[in-house]
Structure 1
Amino acid sequence: MNSKRIIIIIGTVASSLYTFRKDLILSLVAKGFTVHAFTSESDETELTKIAQLGAIPTYYELSRGGLNPYEDLSNTISLYQKIKKVQPDIVLSYFIKPVIYGTLAATLAKVPKKIAMIEGLGFAFTEQPEGYSRKAKLIQQVQVALFKLALPLADKVIFLNPDDPIDLLKSHHIGVKKIEVLGGIGLSLKDYPYQPISLESQTRFLFIARLIREKGIFDFVEAAKLVKKIYPNAIFTVLGGIDEHAHGAMTKFQLDELVQSNIIEYPGQVNNVSEWIANSHVFVLPSYYREGVPRSTQEAMAVGRAVITTDVPGCRETVVDGVNGFLVPKWNPQALAEKMIYFIENPEQIQVMGEQSYKIAQEKFDARKVNERLLKILGV
């Protein structure tokens, strides 16, 4: 009989498993675990990368969008069968749908320890300036009902920030056995080394995110217009993909118009993100999307850049207001512009606050430290 301990990590696309769970998988393998990485994508290149970490990649069916109960039930039964075949000691699920269906399937398979990690509450819990849309309200109602079914079955529920358990569990009266707050998934700091700042050039503000309004792209643009009326040489760079299928997304026409009018520069999606961060002075993310803790902000902090972001769940975990940057109200381009102007008029603070960002990143977002905390939560 094989006495080696077995863990299944259930995620979504293989690239996410490799990018965000690489260090965790390596740590578990080093501790003698057999690691099965369940992914809802069958991209052979990405699956090979996972296998090279020492894990066993396994494809499973997951309907990432939509609300088809019959399809979800069928997929849950299939997932149960795959888990039962492996007979793991631990199942760790992350992201909303894997948490719900992975926890249910693991319970059916009588897995001894079930851990659910919720990395942000997502679209359904993202309030718009005009309130929640009918679609968001419907999805939220369905998700809450499913969470009430699944989360009490988990031995521990992990959140990345302290606001999410309040807004999900307390507000909707969901009882769970134990709550843990991890404080971000972290990143490999060697991939984002500290870079000294040159203050000789015009002040550069950098935005990195999908070009959808929830991530704050339109607020960033409006703030840039306000700043340019006073400081026309300030530079505003946008990195991120166009997602025209998303509601409220920036269109290619709007983007081209902004570039042609010299409001922003847009090199598109790039592979050398750390270099673009290093060439900027201040990182700006006016997001109001319900994510755990934004990775792009962590990357900018690791490189040593001051941050302006919104005072909302997740984002507020990255900034100590007035120390490594500023927190501004959501949906407020005027307040955003005022903080941008502060950095233009007080360039020495770019250096001072950037160094503080670096220190905070070293303490809070080093993947090695985060994984140590996560392994302790897993009890391994």
Structure 2
Amino acid sequence: MKKVLILANNDIGLYKFRKELIKELVKEYEVYISLPYGDFVPELERLGCIFVNTPVSRRGTNPITDLKLILNYRKIIKRISPEVILTYTIKPNVYGGLACSLTKIPYIANITGLGTAVENGGLLQKITLFLYQLALKKASCVFFQNKENQRFLSKYVQYKFGRLLPGSGVNTEYYSLLDYPSSEQVNFLFIARVMKEKGIDQYLESAEYIKGKYPNTVFHVLGFCEDKYEEKLREMQEQGIIKYHGLQNDVKSFHKLNHCTIHPTYYPEGMSNVLLESAACGRPVITTNRSGCREVVNHGENGYIVQPKNTKELIEKIEMFLSLSHEEKKHMGISGRNKVEKEFNRNLVINAYMEEIKKVLK
């Protein structure tokens, strides 16, 4: 069998967002995965993957560590001798791409988001774009998850062929349309890493205001919490303003009671899986006017779009949502489900990958 090597920076994202693709790949190819060990590695192995333990410092900027990663990737590629390599996220895209170029192995990159280094400008942006130029110029295909990323990178980086994907897509069978809750209590969900750039401050400020004015609302927070927010979340939970549930591997049970997902991020997203999964379950969404977020929302139809970092506007849209009747909220959720089925079905992503891999291997 021909071999496919996947370079990624963590097991959770690979399993949750790419497992359907992997299931298709293992039918035809011997599939290797190179990433750091994590709890989902056994699940990936059960799918048929061969695991190669590869340390990746996801946010480190140590040039010696990054050079070691390039050399490690080169060593792995030479040992496995794959026919094609798939790369995901910034470091595997950049350093994996460089290693692929050195070993002359065809590769397909996926730009899952440009990251804060590119977003914030300055010297780090210039260095990152230079590395992208070196890494992507020989790629067989560069997949983008939103048009803005594609337009921006195309200004600075030359590559052979680019193609737009609907993010990672969503498994519409697993995230099926759920009955809309009929309880008088209105539940809102924040599902993300609890960090400033994900809009947690705007969410908490809105929760405090809305809860004081509308006592029948409940504001839930799901996600790994960065240290500086732990005390604040604990205090707000004790005050009855929010309910913090920590990191959850499966959020479907929370969507059953959820009336609306609030995703006030201003982080450089590729395509928000939180929004895709929420909409697939038939839940209205409120999010920001950012690439990777606005694509999922038809404003006023399946949710609302607000400006990033704007708590006042977020509160206005929450109040607008609360003013809707039960049937209007339910209809908004169904509109989101229809949009996801049509535009963001994960099968669209799988088919695109299988097409590009076959082009490389023919």
TM-score by length of structure 1 reads 0.89
Specify the alignment match of 1:215 in structure 2: 198
Kept in 1, the 8 Å contact 2:118–2:128? The answer is: no
Q: Could you tell me how far apart the structure 1 residues matched to 2:218 and 2:69 are? A: 48
Change (3 A) 1:47 1:271: closer
Give 1:148-297 correspondences, 5 Å limit: 148-170=133-155, 173-244=156-227, 250-297=228-275
- In 2, Cα distance between equivalents of 1:195 and 1:120: 30
Partners of 2:308 and 2:183 in 1: how far apart?
Answer: 31
Question: 1:176 and 1:87 mapped to 2: Cα distance?
Answer: 24
Q: Secondary structure at the match of 2:82?
A: coil
State the 1:8 CA deviation: 1.0
Equivalent in the alignment of 1:247? none
Q: 2:26 aligns with which of 20, 25, 29?
A: 29
Q: Is the 8 A contact 1:9 1:35 kept in 2?
A: yes
> How many Å apart are 1:272 and its aligned residue?
4.0
Structure 2 letter corresponding to 1:153? K
Ranges in structure 1 where 5+ consecutive residues have no aligned partner: 127-131, 245-249
Distance apart, 1:138 and its partner CA? 4.3
| Deviation of 1:332 (Å) | 0.8
1:115 to 2:108 alignment: yes
Which aligned runs of 4 or more in structure 1 are off by greater than 4 angstroms?
A: none
Q: Cα 1:163–1:275, aligned 2, differ >3 Å: closer, same or farther? A: same
Once the two structures are overlaid, the 10-residue window that deviates more, 359-368 or 304-313, is 359-368
- Change in Cα spacing, 1:74 to 1:272, as seen in structure 2 (3 Å) is closer
1:189 Cα deviation (Å)? 2.6
Q: Distance in 1 between matches of 2:208 and 2:50?
A: 50
Q: Does 1:84 align with 2:78?
A: yes
Would the alpha carbon gap of residues 252 and 68 (structure 1) be closer, same or farther in structure 2, given more than 3 Å must change? Answer: closer
Pick from 306, 309, 318 the counterpart of residue 287 of structure 2: 309
Number of positions where the alignment pairs a residue of Structure 1 with one of Structure 2? 358
Q: 1:67: which partner in 2?
A: 61
CA distances 1:44-69 after superposition (whole Å, capped 9, x unpaired): x5433222212211123433332222
The answer to whether the Cα contact below 8 Å between 1:61 and 1:79 also exists between their aligned partners in 2 is no
Work out the CA distance in 2 between the residues paired with 1:198 and 1:175: 49
Equivalent position of 1:124 in the other structure: 117
**Residue 17 (structure 1) aligned with residue 14 (structure 2):** yes
Residue 234 of structure 1 and its aligned partner are, at CA, apart by: 1.9
Task: Name the CA distance, whole Å, in 1 between partners of 2:37 and 2:188.
Answer: 38
Query: What is the CA-CA distance between 1:231 and the residue it aligns to?
Result: 2.0
Once the two structures are TM-superposed, the CA of residue 89 in structure 1 deviates from its matched residue by 1.6
Contact 1:115 1:157 in 2 (8 A): yes
Residue 228 of structure 1: how far off its partner (Å): 3.2
Distance 1:62 1:271, change over 3 A: closer
Confirm or deny: 8 A CA contact 2:87 2:110 kept in the other structure: yes
Q: Distance in 2 between matches of 1:275 and 1:78?
A: 40
- Sort the Cα spacing of 1:71 and 1:125 in 2 relative to 1 into closer, same or farther, 3 A: closer
Q: Is the 8 Å Cα contact of residues 182 and 374 (structure 1) preserved in structure 2?
A: no
Rounded Cα–Cα distance in structure 1 between residues aligned with 2:65 and 2:189: 42
Structure 1 stretch displaced more, 71-80 or 293-302: 71-80
TM-score (norm: length of structure 2)? 0.93
Contact 2:184 2:216 in 1 (8 A): no
Q: What percentage of aligned pairs have identical amino acids? A: 34
Do the aligned partners of 1:239 and 1:270 also contact (CA within 8 Å) in 2?
yes
Given that 1:343 and 1:349 are in contact with CA atoms closer than 8 Å, whether structure 2 keeps it comes out as no
Match of 2:46 among 42, 46, 52: 52
- Any conservation in 2 of the 1:17–1:37 contact (CA below 8 Å)? no
Let me know the Cα RMSD of the aligned residues.
1.9
| Cα distance in 2 for residues equivalent to 1:64 and 1:342 | 39
Aligned counterpart for 2:334 among listed residues 327, 335, 355: 355
Counterpart Cα distance in 1 of 2:13 and 2:264: 24
